Amino acid sequence: MCSIFGMFDLQPGDDLAALRRQALELSQRQRHRGPDWSGVYVDAGVILVHERLAIVDPASGAQPLRSRDGALALAVNGEIYNHRELRAASDYDFTTGSDCEVINALYRELGGDAFVREGVARLNGIFAFALWDGASQRYVIARDP
């Protein structure tokens, strides 16, 4: 089981280097949940840290997952059971074989508000995630019902 850690609503002038160190230290307390990989993403508004237990796509599914244009960053714990169907129905430019990357695809295809209203409900699985949209400076945090 992976773990995710995030710091949100960072403000101009925040010491990102110090906050990054703090986020990594705090996330390390959860490393036993995801011993295969540690990843960190830092932007002006957010820091996401992911401790990964590699199950699906262990070769290229390192997180936080980024969209090809770099605008989206996603940290997920869980598994999306219907990822093959969602992937096949999408024209999103996938960068990995990870089952969780379909979350970025749905967000990009539906847009932020529709994704919250409809997209999360399309995900069949067990999951919790934090998604950062750097272009709109918006984050979505959700979990399965």
Residues designated as active site: 2
Copy the structure tokens of residue 140. Answer: 């979505």
Radius of gyration of the chain (CA): 14
pLDDT bin (cut points 50, 70, 90) of residue 63 is: confident
Share of residues in the chain with pLDDT > 90 (%)? 73
Coil, strand or helix at 77 = strand
Mean pLDDT of 3-12: 93
81 secondary structure, DSSP code: T
The continuous run of DSSP H or E covering 102 comes out as helix 101-110
79 secondary structure, DSSP code: E
Mean pLDDT of 8-20: 96
Q: Check the CA dihedral 21-48-44-140 and report its sign.
A: negative
Mean pLDDT of 89-105: 95
With 0-12 CB in 10 A as exposed, 13-18 as middle and 19+ as buried, what is 113? exposed
Residue 34 predicted with pLDDT over 70: no
pLDDT bin (cut points 50, 70, 90) of residue 75 is: very high
**Tell me: the pLDDT tens digits for 122-137?**
999 999 999 999 999 9
pLDDT of amino acid 105: 98
Task: Tell me the average pLDDT of the chain.
Answer: 90
Copy the structure tokens of residue 29. Answer: 């307390």
pLDDT of amino acid 27: 85
With 0-12 CB in 10 A as exposed, 13-18 as middle and 19+ as buried, what is 34? buried
Residue written as tokens 């995710």? 4
Coil, strand or helix at 53 = coil
Q: What is the pTM of this model?
A: 0.89
**Tell me: the pLDDT tens digits for 41-58?**
999 999 999 886 666 555
Share of residues in the chain with pLDDT > 70 (%)? 88
